[in-house]
């Protein structure tokens, strides 16, 4: 089942733009995110986010499989 993914337009203090799955409590507001399409795994969502930002990372809470330190 695919889920909608979004990337945060605002970077974290370390420069990462976090990728979130719909329903995540840490999802940025509608004015601060870019829609990445529907994906069945966070890895393809992160790849899509790299077209927008060079430094991206999966959200620790909703996309832990794609989160790196
Ligand atoms: Zn998240």
Other C-beta atoms within 10 Å of 53: how many? Answer: 18
Other C-beta atoms within 10 Å of 34: how many? Answer: 16
Report how far ligand 1's centroid is from the alpha carbon of 42 (Å). 11
pLDDT exceeds 90 at position 1: no
Instruction: Report residues near ion ligand 1: CB below 5 Å.
Output: 20, 24, 26, 59, 61-62
C-alpha span between 10 and 34 (Å, rounded): 10
What are the structure tokens assigned to 2, written together? 């695919």
pTM of the model: 0.95
What are the structure tokens assigned to 13, written together? 């203090």
Residue 34 C-alpha from the chain's centroid: 9
Report how far ligand 1's centroid is from the alpha carbon of 43 (Å). 14
pLDDT per residue as tens digits for the range 31-48: 999 999 999 999 999 999
Say what the pLDDT of residue 69 is. Answer: 80
Q: Where are the domains of the chain?
A: 3-66
Contacts of 31 (CB under 8 A, 6+ apart): none
């Amino acid at each position: 089942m695919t889920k909608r993914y979004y990337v945060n337009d605002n970077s974290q203090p370390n420069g990462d733009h976090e990728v979130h799955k719909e329903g995540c409590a840490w999802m940025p507001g509608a004015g601060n995110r870019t829609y990445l399409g529907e994906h069945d795994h966070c890895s393809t969502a992160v790849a899509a986010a790299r077209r927008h930002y060079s430094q991206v990372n999966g959200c620790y809470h909703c996309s832990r499989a794609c989160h790196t330190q």
